[in-house]
């Protein structure tokens, strides 16, 4: 597998590195950050806190029936904190809206926001026919007519509406709906989130409880890392927080089932029971460090056409995830999962049919194959608005005796990226990614990608 970078890309990264080196100073807040730091609570100040405070300081809030001078800044910030204390937001999601409408008593606010994402990239040593880098989709064998490609897209741009409030009956509550242009042909509008949260309950369509969104650093590429959990479902979830940083959550989720079509003597049954998901988490450092143990159980049903009978298989999964502030400017991320019949929850494997698969020489019989995945990353802040991340991830499929030997056995990928937050709402990034796919018969393929991105959050 070749990892060399074409000369023009190498020159680009070299020049970008020189520019980055020229703007990096001794780590810490610069003069413009001092105001933001002063407003934060005493204790360790993390670069993410500085950037978030700068963003909130520049936010424009219009009070309905008056001006914001009649409302205390503490009341406004307490309401806006509801937006950022959502544990189910990923690092790639848009920031809070730049413009917000708020009642004079600071008990209700509404905003419209979004993000414009533009990415350009070049693939070489094998082209992945996808706007996101997915090892599962690496072509095997390679098509010599499609070994390189230069491409650009505005996919993953979107808009959202949010409602934030405080009430003596239901406490803090929020409603959120978001759509992005990443549907068919990468331009159709697609629903990403639509949910209501109040008194610990979340109801609607959003990221699975089995997914630890905070354990995933930002990525230039449009998707999530291959060996991580990546799933959105219609769900009902309850979360409860205890003292000293402990919290638990449990939910019922209503996903589709991905059954392999390699066995012709079976038919998928419609799901009739929800997936049961939950987690237990402990956090510290004001929520910037945590460790979480997650689990899920599901029923997978199919019909043996030869026997004329329906069968149920039990799927399950366990995941351990973490985000730890090793130093003030160094963060470690990690996710690992193991289970059976949960391939549809793993980012890379969800591109195939791996919840139930056939077994060689056993017509009409399906199994819930075991799968294992992991992801590790290290993020380093040169200063609050400039940081780099290195990652590695892998997912493996452990079918007992696969019918199709050209099927997916494992996939892996690594990446290195650099982000510069030019302003709190405008950021640029560059990234290099390399991936490999291995099939059961030993055939394998690899691909390389280098990309640039620009994002405006409003």
What's the topology of domain 7-457? Porin (2.40.160)
Between CA 430 and CA 157 the distance in angstroms is 18
For the chain, the structural domain boundaries read: 7-457
pLDDT of residue 20: 39
**Peptide bond preceding 141 in cis form (omega within 30 of 0):** yes
Between CA 361 and CA 142 the distance in angstroms is 30
pLDDT of residue 36: 37
User: What tokens were used for 436?
Assistant: 């490999």
Give the pairing of strands 99-103 and 60-64.
parallel
User: What tokens were used for 150?
Assistant: 């230069």
Contact 235, 209 (CB under 8 A): yes
414-428 pLDDT, tens digit per residue, is 999 999 999 989 999
Intervals of the chain under pLDDT 70: 1-43, 65-80, 84-87, 183-187
Between CA 411 and CA 133 the distance in angstroms is 12
39-83 pLDDT, tens digit per residue, is 444 457 899 888 888 887 887 888 876 555 555 566 666 666 777
Q: Which residues pair with 315 in a beta bridge?
A: 298
pLDDT of residue 26: 30
pLDDT of residue 104: 82
Contact 457, 94 (CB under 8 A): yes
pLDDT of residue 16: 40
Torsion sign (Cα): 17, 22, 26, 27: negative
From residue 336, alpha-carbon distances to 108, 119, 339 in Å are 39, 29, 11
pLDDT of residue 341: 94
pLDDT of residue 29: 34
pLDDT of residue 68: 52
Phi-psi category of residue 75: left, alpha or beta, with phi > 0 → left and psi -120 to 50 → alpha: alpha
Contact 390, 415 (CB under 8 A): yes
Sorted by sequence, the CB contacts under 8 Å of residue 233 that are 6+ apart come out as 205, 206, 208, 253, 254, 255, 275
Between CA 354 and CA 195 the distance in angstroms is 28
Q: Is 309 exposed, middle or buried (0-12, 13-18, 19+ CB in 10 A)?
A: exposed
pLDDT of residue 437: 96
pLDDT of residue 444: 95
Contact 360, 388 (CB under 8 A): no
188-232 pLDDT, tens digit per residue, is 788 999 999 998 899 999 999 999 999 999 999 877 788 899 889
């Amino acid at each position: 597998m070749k990892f060399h970078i074409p000369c023009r890309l190498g020159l680009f990264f070299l020049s970008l590195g020189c520019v980055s080196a020229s703007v990096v100073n001794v780590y810490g807040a610069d003069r413009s950050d001092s105001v933001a730091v002063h407003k934060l609570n005493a204790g360790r100040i993390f670069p993410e806190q500085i950037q978030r405070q700068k963003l909130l300081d520049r936010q424009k809030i219009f009070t309905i029936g008056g001006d914001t001078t009649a409302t205390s800044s503490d009341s406004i910030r307490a309401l806006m904190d509801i937006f950022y204390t959502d544990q189910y937001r990923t690092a790639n999601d848009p920031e809070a809206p730049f413009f917000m409408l708020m009642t004079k008593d600071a008990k209700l606010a509404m905003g419209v926001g979004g993000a414009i994402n533009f990415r350009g990239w070049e693939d070489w040593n094998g082209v992945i026919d996808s706007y996101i880098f997915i090892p599962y989709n690496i072509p095997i064998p390679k098509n010599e007519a499609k070994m390189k490609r230069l491409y650009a897209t505005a996919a993953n741009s979107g808009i959202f509406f949010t409602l934030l409030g405080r009430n003596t009956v239901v406490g803090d509550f929020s409603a959120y709906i978001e759509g992005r242009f990443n549907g068919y042909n990468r331009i159709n509008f697609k629903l990403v989130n639509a949910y209501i949260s109040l008194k610990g309950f979340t109801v609607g369509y959003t990221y699975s409880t089995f997914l630890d969104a905070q354990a995933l650093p930002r990525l230039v590429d449009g998707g999530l890392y291959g060996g991580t959990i990546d799933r959105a479902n219609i769900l009902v979830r309850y979360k409860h927080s205890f003292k000293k940083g402990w919290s638990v959550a449990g939910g019922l989720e209503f996903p589709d089932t991905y059954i392999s079509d390699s066995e012709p003597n079976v038919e998928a049954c419609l799901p009739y029971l929800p997936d049961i998901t939950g987690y237990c988490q402990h956090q510290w450092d004001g929520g910037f460090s945590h460790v979480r143990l997650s689990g899920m159980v599901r029923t997978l049903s199919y019909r043996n056409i030869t026997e004329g009978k329906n069968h149920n298989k039990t799927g399950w999964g366990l995941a351990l995830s973490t985000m730890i502030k090793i130093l003030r400017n160094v963060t470690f991320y990690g996710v690992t999962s193991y289970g059976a019949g949960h391939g549809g929850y793993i980012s890379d494997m969800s591109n195939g049919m791996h919840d139930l698969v056939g077994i060689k020489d056993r017509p009409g019989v399906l199994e819930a194959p075991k799968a294992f995945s992991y992801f590790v990353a290290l993020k380093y802040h040169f200063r609050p608005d400039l940081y780099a991340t290195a990652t590695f991830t892998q997912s493996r499929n452990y079918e007992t005796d696969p019918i199709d030997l050209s099927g997916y056995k494992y996939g892996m990928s690594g990446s290195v990226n650099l982000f510069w937050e030019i302003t709190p709402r405008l950021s640029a990034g560059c990234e290099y990614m390399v991936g490999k796919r291995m099939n059961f018969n030993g055939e394998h393929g690899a691909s390389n990608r280098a990309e640039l991105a620009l994002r405006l959050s409003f």
